[in-house]
């Protein structure tokens, strides 16, 4: 099954690449420099793919099909290989995301400490569910498997900021920082 899926994926990506105009897929100078820095530490170019995805996502917010192709070309590997990696890791975003990412921990300690009440409140405040982006494009809400903050559950992270012992009352104050 996996092999078949991979083949289908490969075909799709390759078909799509045909329609791109040359020039649309270019990496910027800054992106290429940062990727070069990583390549220099590794035995071959292809090994830098995760770093390349992180770098491009840092500048563009998410990884588009065009970005996949651009990275593939630059690392001299196939677009399918890049996409197989990009779709594996949950923090590489293959869809557009909002300006800020809210990661709400839904793991066991946070379950015991009722992260569900936080999720319900966030849904009401932002009018979005897990996997969705708010209408003003400010927040994307995602579930996250354990933030390693189990002694201060429930926990959530917005961008690089960790919030511990979160209560429903705290949410307005937290969200305000990002609006």
Partner 1 sequence: MERPLTKYIHPGCPAFDLKEYEMTGGYSAVRKALGSMTPLEVQQLVKDSELRGRGGAGFNTGMKWSFVPMDANAPRPKYLICNADEMEPGTFKDRLLLEGNPHQLIEGMILAAYAIQADVSYIFLRWAYKKAAYLIHKSLHEAHSAGYLGKDILGSGFSLDMYLHTSVGRYMCGEETALLNALEGKRATPRAKPPFPQVSGLFGKPTIVNNVETLCCIPHIVNNGAAWFKSLGNSNDSGTKLYGVSGKVNNPGCWELPMGVTMRELIEEHAGGMKTGYQLKGVLPGGASTDFLTAEHLDVKMDFNSVTAAGSRLGTGTMVVMDDATCPVGFVHNLQHFFAQESCGWCTPCREGLPWVEKMLLSLEKGEGTAQHIELLQLHTGLLGPGNTFCALAPGAMEPLQSALKYFREDFEKHVALKGCPYG
Per CB under 8 A, does 17 bind partner 1? no
Judged by CB, which is closer to partner 1: 136, or 159?
159
From the list 11-19, 124-132, 150-158, 171-179, the region that binds partner 1 by CB under 8 A is 150-158
Query: Interface with partner 1 includes 3 (CB under 8 A)?
Result: no
For 29, the token pair is: 């100078």
Q: Does 30 interact with partner 1 (rule: CB under 8 A)?
A: no
Other CB atoms within a 10 A radius of the CB of residue 79 amount to 23
Applying CB under 8 A, the span of 8-16, 25-33, 45-53, 120-128 interacting with partner 1 comes to 45-53
Q: Which stretch binds partner 1 (CB under 8 A): 8-16, 29-37, 42-50, 130-138?
A: 42-50
Side-by-side strand order, sheet with 100-105: 132-133, 139-144, 100-105, 156-158, 161-163
Q: Are 96 and 133 in contact (CB under 8 A)?
A: yes
Number of residues that bind partner 1 (CB under 8 A): 41
Query: Contact at 8 Å (CB) between 53 and 60?
Result: no
68, with CB counted inside 10 A (0-12, 13-18, 19+), is: buried
DSSP string, 70-102: HHHHHHTS-HHHHHHHHTTSTTS-SS---SEEE
Check binding of 76 to partner 1 (CB under 8 A).
no
Which residue's CB is nearer to partner 1, number 125 or number 168?
A: 168
162 in Cβ contact with 175 (< 8 Å) = no
The site map against partner 1 for 97-116 (x = CB under 8 A) is: ------x--xxxx-xxx---
To partner 1, the closest distance from the beta carbon of 116 in angstroms equals: 10
Binding residues for partner 1 (CB under 8 A)? 1-2, 41-43, 46-51, 53-54, 84-85, 88-92, 103, 106-109, 111-113, 144-153, 157, 160, 162
């Amino acid at each position: 099954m996996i092999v078949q899926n991979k083949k289908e994926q490969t075909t799709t990506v390759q078909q799509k690449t045909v329609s791109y105009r040359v020039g649309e897929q270019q990496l910027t100078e800054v992106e290429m420099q940062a990727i070069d820095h990583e390549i220099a530490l590794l035995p071959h170019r292809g090994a830098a793919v995760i770093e390349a995805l992180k770098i491009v996502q840092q500048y563009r917010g998410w990884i588009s099909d065009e970005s996949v192709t651009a990275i593939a070309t630059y690392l001299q590997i196939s677009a399918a290989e890049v996409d197989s990696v990009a779709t594996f890791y949950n923090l590489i975003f293959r869809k557009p995301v909002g300006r800020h990412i809210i990661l709400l921990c839904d793991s066991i300690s946070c379950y015991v400490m009722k992260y569900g009440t936080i999720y319900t409140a966030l849904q009401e405040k932002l009018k979005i569910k897990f996997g969705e982006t708010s209408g003003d494009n400010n927040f994307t809400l995602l579930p996250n498997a354990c933030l390693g903050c189990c002694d201060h559950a429930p926990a959530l992270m917005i961008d690089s900021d960790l919030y511990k012992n979160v209560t429903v009352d705290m949410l307005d104050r937290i969200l305000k920082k990002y609006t």
